[in-house]
Amino acid sequence: MRVRILLAALAVAATASPAALASGGNPQTAGLQVALRAQGLYHGAIDAVSGPRTVAAVRAFQRIHRLPVTGLADARTRRALGPLGRPLFGSRILRRGDFGWDVAVLQFMLVRQGISVPVNAYFDGPTLRGVRTLQRRLHLRVDGVVGSRTLAAIVRREPVPVASRHLVAAKHPSPRYGIHVVRAGESLSAIARRYHTTVARLARLNHLDPSHYLLVGTKLRVPTRHRVRTVRTAAITGSVTPVRSLLDRWAARDGVDKHLVRALAWMESGYNNALVSSVGARGIMQLLPSTWSYVETVLIGHKVRHTAAGNVQVGVAYLHHLLADFHGNVRLALAAWYEGEGAVRSHGIYKVSRPFVADVLALSHRM
């Protein structure tokens, strides 16, 4: 549809204090939540904050796969999650076409910085543009590759610990902190009012004497239990409970393998109907307006409402058409979805399309 290390640095992050990590829990947990969401077991926001819902989803997954039911995402459980269960963030260089747990963590951290990307564990075009945006902000080489320098900069900005054996859900959420850079004319009392706290608390957090002047450019730790960042992240990574039922319903109606439909929708949007790509592809199935019009006028013969259900209906109808057009060859149909029917007929599967096709097929066996 659209042609689309490192461990040493992370060892430093692993020693960060709980307060330093509290700006959003352990980002590695976001990778776990994404993997569980793809299985239809976790229905909360992708927020990297461990808690009862995450543990319950891990336990449910372990029961389904006849693993010891511990609620811990140990190595055995992560292996059972398939391509979404590995590798942990920081264990490899990331570039376009990669797929896995670490990509989901990267996407979560991009979203938390206000950079809109799908959180689906696939390093696609939007994720590439998001990485470049972050690199520009951090004054790094803008190459779209998360190598050692970009990774180190991310870790300094938002520590990502690596659990030695398990990813364990916390019993109680930690207090959250962010960073405020002092600007000209600001006082400690004004900053305290902005973050709904007290001067005394800010002074304790930052080892300051409240009677002294603040220097412009000073970085202060501030409580961030206000709603700005949380709402933005939750809006992009919120609940997807109804999506799988929509996908399954239209897959059954059109006679398409529901596991293939689930995997394709996941790779396109992470089940996010609010997602709009830079070229105008929209919704759960990431459909271009031209594709939507073609399905309405040629394939099904009537208008379809632009809702989540409509997006799935049109997407599944188009996938059904591609499968028929390529005589049931799933690889060619997926390549045509990604690069266009004409391109596949004229040139075969492009090199850039191969990771997408392989990842959808791998994921379809786990969904």
Residue range 318-363, pLDDT digits in tens: 999 999 999 999 999 999 999 999 999 999 999 989 999 999 999 9
Q: Report d(CA 13, CA 29) in Å as an integer.
A: 15
Most confident option among 7-21, 32-46, 314-328? 314-328
| Whole-angstrom distance, CA of residue 183 vs CA of residue 50 | 34
Can you state the angle between helices 308-325 and 330-339, rounded to 10 degrees? Answer: 120
pLDDT digits (tens, 9 = 90+) for 247-291: 999 999 999 999 999 999 999 988 888 888 878 899 999 999 999
| Secondary structure class of 222 (helix, strand, coil) | strand
Q: Which residue has the higher pLDDT, 218 or 326?
A: 326
Confidence of residue 231 (pLDDT cuts 50, 70, 90): very low
Contact 317, 249 (CB under 8 A): no
Determine the average pLDDT of the residues in 47-63.
Answer: 91
Q: What is the mean pLDDT of residues 147-159?
A: 81
- 186's tokens: 């600001």
Tens digit of pLDDT for each residue in 92-134? 999 999 999 999 999 999 988 889 888 999 999 999 999 999 9
Distance separating alpha carbons of residues 88 and 163, to the nearest angstrom = 9
* pTM higher than the cut 0.85: no
* Whether pLDDT at 163 is above 50: no
Residue 113 DSSP class: T
Task: Calculate Rg over the CA atoms of the chain.
Answer: 22
pLDDT at 17 over 80: no
Question: Looking at per-residue confidence, does 26 or 157 come out higher?
Answer: 26
**Which residues, at least 6 apart from 141, have a Cβ–Cβ distance to it below 8 Å?**
135, 149
For each of the domains in the chain, give its residue range(s) and CATH number, in order of start.
Answer: 7-157 (1.10.101.10), 177-223 (3.10.350.10), 241-364 (1.10.530.10)
SS3 52: helix
- For residue 285, what pLDDT is reported? 96
The most confident of 190-194, 242-246, 274-278, 338-342, by mean pLDDT: 338-342
